[in-house]
Structure formats: structure tokens, C-alpha cells
């Protein structure tokens, strides 16, 4: 059976599975449904030498009221991070804050959040969504960056445009970038689809970011080859620990993560939580068959 057919058979029934089954499949990747579960997970990560970033699950809001709920949840998260003295920042999907239907509303909500975060010394990361949002996300990031120092965004190595986006961002001064491969399924005319090409692009972009003076580059990957490349680059160029951090998703590649912490690299874990875990899980599982494969493998390897 071809790998694609295997994956299609694997993911087709996911939306029809009972919630309890999807929860079993997803729970090691999600802190829980509420803020307290996120704090608890972050506290444990901090104790294990990792910093964290919390992400309220949700995307593609279609109404002002949804945007307000998401914004307020993030405001509570900021207060909770401070009250609990956690080493933690926040990550936000702009579509959760209305990017797709009202960019000014989104800008206002982000400004409110970043202002509160700034008062508390907390950094705010703008996640990158699919390619229909790349340009508008980068535009909004540039606008916010003019006013705030504590905001950054994400570059996806699979996009062919990324080298030029990075060059552009670096031109306008210090920029805070998380570099990842990219998780959405994109067409070949705009994205590399071959694993080797995506890795090559990742390595080139990482060098470009370091050479161009990017601030605290987020090296977001669980790919052992890329982690090794980054470690060698850091050593060869004698790059200070204040200029980068490795970043990984909750529940993924924990051995690789522990090794990096042991070798004293700064490491941040991305901690998703929220009521909308079901929609998020189903979407992620369907969007990226590789993840469905990992999850099923993890499920069986636990027994
Ligand atoms: C902190 C962080 C933030 C991210 N933010 C974004 C973003 O804003 N936008 C975006 O498009 N993408 C984002 N991503 C996802 C990213 O683009 C990749 O899809 C994902 O990290 C897998 O790529 P990889 O580099 O780990 O390499 P891969 O080659 O996909 O994975 C390497 C190895 O890691 C393990 N692995 C990887 N992913 C999983 C998983 N989910 N479950 C179990 N094992 C896994 C497997 O063992 C795999 O062999 C983020 C990733 C991280 C770590």
C-alpha cells in the first residue's frame, strides 16, 4: 500500500472518531482545556530547565465577539504568567484575533495585548499560518514592530519566498524570528515539498538570520539533522546563548530536547491549551498526515 494511501485511510475517519478517542490521540501534545492546566505544565517544564510559550488553541475567528474572548483569555494568561512567576511567553495566531475579516480590529487587539505584555516584561510571538496569510501577517508584524520591541514572528523554511522575506525584515532593524519548516500543505509553485530541499532552505535561512543580526532566533525543529547543524553553527561562530533558543512542541522529541538542555542550550517548549482542542486536533491531524502517523505510532508505543 502506498504511503499516501495509508495516510489517507488513517486520517479520513478522524473527524468521526469519538471525542474521547481524539483526546487520547492528542493529549500528550496539549496541556489541557484551561489556563490552570497550562500553568501546571509550564511550571513542570520550568523545573526541568525549559522556558515555555503558551498558545490558546483557536484560529479563524469570524466575529468581533470571538476576537474579544480570545484577546481576554490572552490577557488573563499574561496576568497568570506574572502572578505564578513563570518563565513563559505567549504565541498567537492572528486569525484568532480577526485577521481574516478585520485587520484593524486585529491590529488593535494585538496592540492591547503587546502593551500589557510589555508592562509585564513578556514577549509575544505571532505564529505563521497558511500562505494566504503570509503577507498580511508580515505587514502587521512590521507595523507592530515599529511601536514595540517585545514582538516577533515566524518564518517557514518551506516557502520559496522566505529568503527574501528575511532579507526584507532584517533591513528594517533587529527582528525577532522563530524559524520552522512549516506545517501547512502548500502548492509546489510557492513551497519546497521535498524534505531535502526544505532542510537546505532551513539551514540557509538560519545562517542568514544569524549573519543579519536577528535577535534571539527561535530554532524550532525536532529534526535531529537540523538540530545538529544548528549546534555546529553556533559552536563554529561562537554565537552567544542570548542570541538564540531551541524550540520544540509539547510532547515531541523529548530525548532530543533533554540532550539540548543538558548541553546548556536555551530551550523553549510550545504549550497549546484550550477549549478548542478538538477542532485543533482534528485539523492538525488532517492537515499533516505525518503528524497523524506520529500520533498513532505514539499511541501504540505506549503499550
Ligand atoms: C515551537 C514550534 C513552533 C511552531 N510554530 C509554527 C508556526 O507558527 N507555523 C507553522 O507553519 N509551523 C509551526 N511549527 C511546526 C513546524 O513548522 C513543523 O511542522 C514541525 O515542527 C515538524 O517539523 P520538524 O522540523 O520538527 O521536522 P520533521 O522532519 O517533521 O520532524 C522531525 C522528527 O520530529 C518528530 N516529530 C515532528 N513533529 C512531530 C509531532 N507533531 N509529533 C510527534 N513527533 C514529531 C518525528 O520524530 C520526526 O521524525 C512549529 C514548530 C515548533 C517546534
Q: How many CB atoms lie within 10 A of CB 135?
A: 11
Residue 181 CA, closest ligand 1 atom number:
17
Nearest Cα residue to atom 3 of ligand 1: 220
How high is the pLDDT of residue 2? Answer: 52
Q: Convert the pLDDT of each residue in 11-36 to its tens digit.
A: 666 667 777 877 777 778 899 999 99
Q: Is 222 in the pocket of ligand 1 (CB under 6 A)?
A: yes
pLDDT category, 293, cuts 50, 70, 90? low
Question: What is the 105 CA–ligand 1 centroid distance (Å)?
Answer: 30
pTM of the model: 0.91
Beta bridge partners of 217: 244
Residue 107: pLDDT over 60: yes
Residue 299: pLDDT over 60: no
How high is the pLDDT of residue 302? Answer: 37
pLDDT category, 301, cuts 50, 70, 90? very low
How high is the pLDDT of residue 11? Answer: 63
Q: Is 207 in the pocket of ligand 1 (CB under 6 A)?
A: no
Nearest Cα residue to atom 28 of ligand 1: 223
How high is the pLDDT of residue 295? Answer: 52
As a whole number, the mean pLDDT across the chain is 90
Residue 67: pLDDT over 70: yes
Q: Is 281 in the pocket of ligand 1 (CB under 6 A)?
A: no
Beta bridge partners of 51: 268
Question: What is the 199 CA–ligand 1 centroid distance (Å)?
Answer: 12
Residue 190: pLDDT over 80: yes
Residue 58: pLDDT over 90: no
Residue 53 CA, closest ligand 1 atom number:
1
Q: What do you get for the CA distance between the two ends of the chain, in Å?
A: 25
How high is the pLDDT of residue 300? Answer: 44
Q: Which residue has the higher pLDDT, 277 or 15?
A: 277
Helices (H), the chain: 3-11, 19-26, 35-47, 64-83, 103-119, 134-147, 162-171, 195-211, 224-236, 254-262, 277-287, 289-301
Q: What is the CATH number of domain 31-273?
A: 3.20.20.220
How high is the pLDDT of residue 203? Answer: 98
Q: Which residue has the higher pLDDT, 239 or 28?
A: 239
Question: What is the 59 CA–ligand 1 centroid distance (Å)?
Answer: 18
Q: Is 127 in the pocket of ligand 1 (CB under 6 A)?
A: yes
Residue 297: pLDDT over 60: no
Backbone phi, then psi, for 244, in 5-degree steps? -155, 165
Give the relative orientation of helices 224-236 and 254-262 as an angle to the nearest 10 degrees: 10
Nearest Cα residue to atom 5 of ligand 1: 127
Angle of CA points 156, 45, 76, to nearest 5°: 80
Residue 298: pLDDT over 50: no
Q: Is 191 in the pocket of ligand 1 (CB under 6 A)?
A: no
Q: Convert the pLDDT of each residue in 135-178 to its tens digit.
A: 999 999 999 999 999 999 999 999 999 999 999 999 988 899 99
Q: Which range (78-82, 260-264, 291-295) has the least confidence? A: 291-295
CA pair distance 4, 2, nearest whole angstrom: 5
Residue 86: pLDDT over 70: yes
Q: Which residue has the higher pLDDT, 104 or 183?
A: 104
Q: Name the residue of 31, 154, 181 whose CB sits within 8 Å of the most ligand 1 atoms, as the mutation to test its pocket.
A: 181
How high is the pLDDT of residue 173? Answer: 83
Residue 41: pLDDT over 50: yes
pLDDT category, 294, cuts 50, 70, 90? low
CA pair distance 173, 159, nearest whole angstrom: 22
Amino acid at each position: 500500500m502506498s504511503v499516501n494511501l495509508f495516510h489517507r485511510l488513517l486520517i479520513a475517519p478522524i473527524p468521526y472518531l469519538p471525542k474521547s478517542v481524539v483526546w487520547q490521540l492528542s493529549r500528550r501534545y496539549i496541556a489541557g482545556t484551561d489556563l490552570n492546566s497550562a500553568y501546571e505544565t509550564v511550571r513542570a517544564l520550568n523545573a526541568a530547565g525549559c522556558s515555555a510559550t503558551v498558545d490558546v488553541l483557536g484560529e479563524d475567528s469570524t466575529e468581533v465577539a470571538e476576537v474579544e474572548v480570545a484577546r481576554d483569555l490572552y490577557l488573563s494568561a499574561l496576568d497568570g504568567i506574572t502572578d505564578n512567576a513563570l518563565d513563559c511567553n505567549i504565541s498567537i495566531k492572528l486569525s484568532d484575533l480577526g485577521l481574516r475579516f478585520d485587520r484593524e480590529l486585529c491590529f488593535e487587539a494585538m496592540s492591547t495585548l503587546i502593551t500589557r505584555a510589555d508592562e509585564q516584561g513578556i514577549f509575544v510571538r505571532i505564529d505563521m499560518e497558511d500562505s494566504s496569510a503570509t503577507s498580511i501577517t508580515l505587514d502587521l508584524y512590521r507595523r507592530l514592530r515599529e511601536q514595540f520591541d517585545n514582538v516577533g514572528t515566524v518564518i517557514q523554511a518551506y516557502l520559496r519566498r522566505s529568503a527574501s522575506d528575511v532579507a526584507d525584515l532584517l533591513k528594517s532593524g533587529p527582528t525577532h524570528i522563530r524559524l520552522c519548516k512549516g506545517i501547512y500543505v502548500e502548492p509546489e509553485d510557492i513551497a519546497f515539498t521535498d524534505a531535502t530541499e526544505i532542510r537546505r532552505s532551513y539551514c540557509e535561512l538560519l545562517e542568514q538570520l544569524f549573519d543579519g543580526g536577528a535577535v534571539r532566533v527561535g530554532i524550532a525543529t525536532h529534526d535531529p539533522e537540523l538540530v545538529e547543524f544548528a549546534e555546529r553553527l553556533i559552536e563554529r561562530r561562537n554565537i552567544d546563548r542570548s542570541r538564540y533558543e531551541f524550540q520544540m512542541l509539547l510532547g515531541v522529541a523529548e530525548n532530543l530536547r533533554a540532550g539540548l538542555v543538558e548541553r546548556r542550550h536555551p530551550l523553549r517548549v510550545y504549550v497549546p491549551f484550550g477549549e478548542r482542542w478538538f477542532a485543533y486536533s482534528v485539523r492538525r491531524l488532517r492537515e499533516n498526515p505525518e503528524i497523524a502517523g506520529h500520533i498513532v505510532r505514539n499511541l501504540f508505543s505506549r503499550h
